[in-house]
């Protein structure tokens, strides 16, 4: 903030000096006399300051508006193309599988993956305003040069940015910094326009005016480098510590420091390094896994810590020598098998509710192993089917159909495999033709209403699909925090807890007990429980709509209350776990998957 304010002050001063210099020069050329008192003209300064501030603000809002589409806008800005889920390219399929595993393990939506096709450097990024609109971008060099373990380390690093909220800050930073970069761009456009007009004009008239404008444009370009300097400084100050945090989170996630460490070593020994050649790379340099642009002025201007320092934090034995790593060894086009993994038997999760909240945004290696095993256990025909839009649409409709009768393959899917399968299908459906989306929504609603009742899974799946796809096809904006205290939210929270309590048991007394346990987590006065004849999908939707506008801290408190309510008897069924994860999704609080037959708690 201090750097930004200083940059704006210096830019205003520079523009004023340029303005005075141009007009003083014109006055001297016309035969006037130089008078030092004319250097300070308060009225002129106020006009210059006002116009400059207006340009800075306009530049900021223009770029923010340009990037309001979220992660996809950043990927397109960098020249990325979405990877087709049905791609035959073995390297592209490998990155899609790694990303899907990470998403399912962390409880986040499976993001679209964009490929920076012509980029030989090894790099990646995550971008978006929230997990719902996040995308992962990778360079061609990244998927060609890294093996699966190294890719897993890099993608785990990027998922840390998704889970820690870094993405929104990074996008907003592009917009804010564009305001102080706009003066340099105006100077550049002025010089370029003059060059074109002079080359296309044979007239020598107006030479003095052209020279004055050219001088002003040149001075603006020079002054603009104040903005360039401070933009680099601000990006460096914001991003460096977050890179260390993301490295540490990746190790916690994968339990394999060698994966990300070897990826960094490979960057250090690779001829193209991590450089991104696209002309917008500088603008988005703070998004990348490693330095995407060259020429940082000392370490002060680097958006990332040095490779050696990052590697030493992961591998203390590293001595700073990079091998000549020019290409990754082929893996015969096959995905690594998950050896000796079993999903286990149980139909319920034994849970200590307080432990669930501590895992929001903090998946573990056990979650990753579970997700990998779960995906490996899906019927091969289904995994191929969900890779293309028509098949993905059919799978969603089959999951909503009675007993999955629409597809024998879907009918064979285990209860704990349904949501992960749906997540993969939804990621593919983001590429659905826009005119087919309304008809798809109609089909889903018709299937849900076919039996005149909505069960927990149907509600969870329908809400999840619409929440994931609506921002893509209807350009909806994520809710903005409106509530920072519990009191105005208490009635909606009580309504939500009432629905969860009734859905968890047929016994009215047990439902009241579960409701009371949930309300205890919120503290304060306890509103009356919703009457049994008033709970249902509409009440649940109404409460989630209001609670989704709570601040992040309030959301976590309410989610803890929901967990306590659902887990009041110490057991969470698969259906209840799915519903709880849907609530977490509505709050942008991703909950890693519950593992059937496993206990969640300190003694687990």
8-state DSSP, 483:
B
Determine phi and psi for 180, rounding to 5 degrees. Answer: -90, -10
Residues 229 and 297 placed together within one structural domain of the fold: yes
Closest by Cα among 558, 106, 162 to 364: 106
Establish if 341 belongs to a structural domain.
Answer: no
CA distances from 287 to 294, 321, 522, 564 (A): 15, 26, 37, 37
Residue 476 per-residue DSSP state: P
* Tens-place pLDDT, residues 365-423: 888 888 888 888 887 778 888 888 988 998 998 888 754 445 677 878 888 888 888 99
Residues 310 and 397 in one domain: no
pLDDT at 383: 84
Q: How many helices (H) and strands (E) in the chain?
A: 23, 7
Q: How many domains does the chain have?
A: 3
Q: Does residue 585 sit within a domain?
A: yes
Residues 158 and 307 occupy one common structural domain? yes
DSSP letter at 329 equals P
* Alpha helix stretches (DSSP H) within 30-88: 42-66, 71-77
Ranges of residues in the chain with a pLDDT under 70 are: 25-38, 195-212, 215-216, 295-301, 323-355, 357, 402-407, 477-478, 595-604
In a domain, residue 143? The reply is yes
Last residue of a domain, one of 432, 449, 473: 473
Please report the pLDDT score of residue 346 as a whole number: 40
Is 345 inside any structural domain? Answer: no
DSSP for 374-411, written as a single string: HHHTS-HHHHHHTTSHHHHHHHHHHHHSGGGTT-HHHH
Return all residues near 43 (Cβ < 8 A) that are at least 6 apart.
none
Domain-embedded: residue 344 = no
Looking at residue 196, its pLDDT comes to 64
Residue 114 pairs with which residues in a beta bridge? 82, 137
Q: Do 405 and 516 belong to one domain?
A: no
Assess whether 354 and 370 both reside in one domain: no
Cβ atoms of residues 224 and 15 within 8 Å: no
Is 593 in contact with 421 (CB distance < 8 Å)? no
Q: Are residues 437 and 327 in the same domain?
A: no
Instruction: Write out the catalytic residue numbers.
Output: 158
Secondary structure letter of residue 506 according to DSSP: S
Q: Is 485 found in the same domain as 469?
A: no
Q: What is the pLDDT of residue 489?
A: 95
pLDDT at 330: 38
Instruction: Check whether residue 312 and residue 236 sit in a common domain.
Output: yes
> What is the 3-class SS of 166-198, one letter each residue?
HHHHHHHHHHHHHHHHHHHHHHHHHHHHHHHHH
Distance, in Å, from the CA atom of 276 to the CA atom of 386, rounded to the nearest integer, reads: 32
Question: Which pair of tokens denotes residue 108?
Answer: 């986040």
Measured in degrees and rounded to the nearest 5, phi and psi for residue 45 equal -60, -45
Question: Does residue 50 sit in the same domain as residue 85?
Answer: yes
Residues 60 and 181 occupy one common structural domain: yes
Burial of 74 (0-12, 13-18, 19+ CB in 10 A): buried
Alpha carbon 366 to its chain's center:
23
Q: Is residue 131 part of a domain?
A: yes
Decide if 343 is inside a domain: no
Q: How far apart are CA 163 and CA 360, in angstroms?
A: 9
pTM for this prediction: 0.78
**Range of the structural domain that residue 461 is part of:** 365-473
Q: Do 394 and 535 belong to one domain? A: no
Instruction: Return the closest-CA partner of residue 466 out of 504, 431, 437, 433.
Output: 437
Q: Quick check: is 258 in a domain?
A: yes
Helix (H, G, I), strand (E, B) or coil at 296: coil
Q: Are residues 497 and 581 in the same domain?
A: yes
pLDDT digits (tens, 9 = 90+) for 70-84: 888 899 999 999 999
């Amino acid at each position: 903030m201090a750097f930004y304010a200083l940059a704006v002050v210096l830019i205003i001063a520079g523009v004023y000096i340029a303005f005075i210099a141009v007009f003083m020069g014109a006055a001297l050329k016309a035969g006037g006399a130089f008078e030092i008192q004319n250097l300070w003209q308060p009225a002129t300064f106020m006009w210059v300051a006002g116009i400059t501030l207006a340009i800075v603000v306009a530049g900021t809002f223009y770029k923010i508006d340009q990037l309001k589409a979220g992660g996809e806008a950043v990927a397109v800005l960098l020249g990325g193309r979405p990877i087709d889920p049905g791609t035959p390219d073995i390297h592209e399929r490998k990155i899609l599988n790694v990303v899907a595993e990470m998403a399912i393990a962390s409880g986040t939506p499976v993001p679209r993956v964009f490929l920076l096709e012509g980029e030989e450097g090894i790099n990646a990024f995550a971008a978006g305003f929230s997990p719902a609109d996040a995308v992962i971008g990778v360079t061609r060099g990244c998927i060609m040069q890294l093996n699966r373990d190294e890719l897993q380390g890099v993608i785990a690093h990027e998922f840390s940015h998704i889970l820690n909220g870094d993405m929104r800050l990074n996008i907003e930073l592009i917009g804010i910094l564009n305001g102080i970069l706009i003066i340099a761009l105006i100077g550049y456009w002025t010089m370029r326009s003059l060059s074109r007009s002079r080359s296309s004009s044979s007239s020598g008239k107006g030479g003095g005016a052209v020279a004055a404008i050219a001088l002003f444009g040149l001075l603006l370009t020079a002054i603009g480098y104040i903005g360039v300097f401070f933009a680099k400084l601000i990006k460096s100050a914001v991003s460096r510590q977050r890179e260390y945090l993301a490295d540490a989170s990746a190790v916690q996630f994968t339990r394999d420091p060698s994966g990300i460490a070897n990826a960094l070593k490979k960057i250090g020994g690779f001829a193209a390094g991590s450089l991104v050649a696209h002309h917008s790379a500088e603008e988005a340099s703070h998004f990348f896994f490693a330095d995407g642009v060259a020429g940082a002025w000392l370490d002060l201007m680097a958006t990332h810590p040095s490779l050696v320092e990052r590697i030493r934090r992961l591998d203390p034995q590293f001595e700073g020598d990079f091998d000549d790593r020019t290409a990754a060894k082929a893996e015969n086009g096959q995905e690594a098998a998950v050896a000796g993994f079993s999903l286990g038997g149980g139909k319920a999760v034994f849970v200590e509710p307080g432990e669930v909240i501590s895992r929001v945004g903090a998946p573990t290696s056990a979650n990753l192993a579970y997700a990998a095993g779960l995906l490996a256990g899906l019927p091969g025909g289904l995994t191929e089917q969900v890779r293309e839009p028509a098949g993905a649409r059919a799978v969603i409709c089959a999951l909503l159909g009675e007993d999955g009768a629409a597809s024998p393959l879907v009918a064979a899917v285990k209860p704990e495999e349904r949501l992960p399968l749906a997540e993969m299908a939804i990621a593919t459906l983001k590429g659905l033709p826009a005119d087919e989306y309304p008809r798809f929504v109609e089909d889903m609603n018709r299937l849900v209403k076919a039996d005149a009742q909505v069960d927990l899974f149907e509600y969870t799946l329908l809400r999840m699909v619409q929440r994931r796809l609506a921002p893509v096809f209807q350009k909806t904006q994520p809710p903005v925090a409106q509530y920072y205290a519990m009191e105005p939210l208490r009635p909606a929270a009580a309504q939500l807890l009432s629905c969860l309590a009734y859905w968890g048991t047929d016994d009215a007394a047990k439902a009241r007990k579960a409701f009371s346990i949930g309300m205890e987590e919120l503290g304060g006065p306890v509103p009356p429980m919703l009457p049994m004849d008033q709970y249902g999908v509409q009440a649940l939707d109404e409460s989630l709509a209001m609670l989704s506008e709570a601040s992040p801290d309030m959301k976590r408190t309410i989610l803890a209350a929901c967990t306590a309510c659902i887990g009041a008897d110490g057991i969470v069924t698969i259906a209840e776990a799915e519903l709880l994860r849907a609530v977490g999704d509505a709050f942008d609080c991703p909950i890693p998957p519950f593992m059937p037959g496993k206990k969640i708690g300190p003694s687990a």
